[in-house]
Amino acid sequence: MTPTDSDHAMRALDEALALVNPAPAGSGGGGPAGSGGSGGGRHRAAAWPQARDAAARAGSGVRPRTRRVPLADALGEVLAAPLDALTDLPSFDTSAMDGWAVAGPGPWTVRADGGVLAGSGRPEPLADGEAVRIATGARIPADTTAVLRSEHSRESGGQLYADRPVTTGQDIRPRGQECRSGDLLLPPGSLVTPAVLGLAAAAGYDELATRPRPRVEVLVLGDELLTEGLPHDGLIRDALGPMLGPWLERLGAEVTGTRRIGDDDAGAEALLEAVTGSEADVVLTTGGTASGPVDHVHPVLRRAGAELLVDGVAVRPGHPMLLARLGGPADGRHVVGLPGNPLAAVSGLLTLADPLLRALAGRRRRPRYGAPVQGDVPGHPYDTRLVPVRLTDEHAVPLRYNGPAMLRGIAAADALAVVPPHGARSGQELEILDLPWVSGGCFT
């Protein structure tokens, strides 16, 4: 794809900014990612991979909550204990097909009764040379040699004939074929999917021990935000409030609420009260993470005694995102600060919130994979770029509208491509971050 004029303009702006602060983003000294080094207190952003690793470590260190819930309430949570087989599966020999249970070599004499149905009691044993009708899932009569499928047989004058050779045990599901009582079916940390619910029910479970979804409270900061109608008089519509809750739920969180807080001094006090008083596992803020006159997040976190784990990330868009912890590592709560620009906020969600929430829920990190990019993609001199892309059978195709304040590109995207510093050439394989509704995010 040929770079657009807007791509060139953005690259020129980034290069100009890099000249103002030419130190490459990277290590934050010996402390937490992005905590700053010895350069006279000058802030250095964490490299993008290091920031994601820091978020995952922060979530992994928290003491997990567990509970027992009915099967119907376990969907989308994570197993807190092994799922062991409570019985053999199947628990008795069953027929794999509709047809005939036969004993010995044919032809067979058809037993004059109603046959054996699924769910019926123990059937009468078969005599040698005898056959009885049987349904799929029905208990196999004692002394049965095989099940003969209906379509492979013919009946004439009370006798049953096979149209093809019959082998001992064919189309019989033996007891314990899938598992024996006590076998490990799934380890702790497995996501409870619809298939897991079915397996648990088949194995005899009525409830499961799970780790509940992490609870997240969303705080949308800003005086310029409208909740309805057209933008006017310097006011803009709040795009993040409607977007973040559903997005977080797709990432596996339980969103406890979304609140809007102003930028004035009263808003700063309200933010402090919200951050320190929230019962959520994670407080997620939007805006106010930079160093402007009404950017209150950093001062509020200092007043709250929070520990900054990530303070800025070398990624575009989304550079001024942050991750902080309130309390000790094992039982503390976390604050994820997202930039206020919509696409920059999306970058923060996938950089910090996603790995943090997965770790808090006890889920494995997302598998990494790449795809070749179609067309050259410009890059920042030092920072990673996250670019919305559509995925085809062969390529990741960059989308045009990828500015920090734009949602048009991400709304049409399947994923974000991770573009290294200095950009990527056409055909170069880039890491791909699937969007949760495309990759099949957590069940809700």
* 3-state SS class at 175: coil
**What whole-number distance in Å separates Cα of residue 52 and Cα of residue 312?**
12
* 3-state SS class at 156: strand
Q: Is the pLDDT of residue 84 over 90?
A: yes
Categorize the per-residue pLDDT at 223 as very low, low, confident or very high, splitting at 50, 70 and 90: low
Categorize the per-residue pLDDT at 15 as very low, low, confident or very high, splitting at 50, 70 and 90: very low
pLDDT of residue 231: 74
For 319-355, the pLDDT digits (tens) are 999 999 999 988 889 999 999 888 999 999 999 999 9
Q: Is the pLDDT of residue 224 over 80?
A: no
Sole residue written with tokens 């803009």: 236
Mean predicted confidence (pLDDT) in 62-67: 94
Mean predicted confidence (pLDDT) in 268-285: 93
Which residues are registered as beta bridge partners of 47? 314
- Per the prediction, the chain carries an average pLDDT of 86
Which residues are registered as beta bridge partners of 254? 215
For 282-320, the pLDDT digits (tens) are 999 998 888 777 788 999 999 999 999 999 999 999 999
Strand 108-110 versus strand 130-134 pairing type: parallel
Residue 96 near residue 203, CB atoms below 8 Å: no
pLDDT of residue 442: 59
pLDDT of residue 33: 58
- Residue whose C-alpha is closest to residue 254's, from 280, 286, 221: 280
* 3-state SS class at 271: helix
pLDDT of residue 264: 80
Other Cβ atoms less than 10 A from the Cβ of 244: the count is 23
Q: What percent of the chain has pLDDT over 90?
A: 68
* 3-state SS class at 246: helix
How far is residue 282 from each of residues 119, 176, 253, measured CA to CA in Å? 49, 44, 9
Looking at residue 351, what DSSP letter applies?
A: I
Whole-prediction pTM: 0.80
- State the greatest distance between any 2 C-alpha atoms of the chain, in Å, as a whole number: 100
**What whole-number distance in Å separates Cα of residue 43 and Cα of residue 41?**
6
Instruction: Kindly calculate the radius of gyration of the chain based on its CA atoms and give it in whole angstroms.
Output: 30
Q: What are phi and psi of 5, to 5 degrees?
A: -60, -40
Q: Is the pLDDT of residue 191 over 80?
A: yes
The alpha carbon torsion through 360, 365, 366, 370 (nearest 10 deg) reads 140
**What whole-number distance in Å separates Cα of residue 276 and Cα of residue 51?**
24
Other Cβ atoms less than 10 A from the Cβ of 154: the count is 12
pLDDT of residue 37: 36
First to last CA, the chain: 37
- Residue whose C-alpha is closest to residue 417's, from 406, 432, 435, 402: 432
pLDDT of residue 16: 42
pLDDT of residue 114: 79
Which residues are registered as beta bridge partners of 159? 109, 156
Amino acid 202 reads A
For 377-426, the pLDDT digits (tens) are 999 999 999 999 999 999 999 998 888 878 888 989 999 999 999 999 99
pLDDT top residue among 237 and 217: 217
Tokens representing 176 are: 């314990």
Which residues are registered as beta bridge partners of 173? 94
pLDDT of residue 142: 95
Q: What percent of the chain has pLDDT over 70?
A: 87
For 138-165, the pLDDT digits (tens) are 999 999 999 999 999 999 989 999 999 9
Q: Is the pLDDT of residue 12 over 70?
A: no
- Residue whose C-alpha is closest to residue 193's, from 87, 83, 336: 83
How far is residue 329 from each of residues 31, 215, 372, measured CA to CA in Å? 15, 17, 39
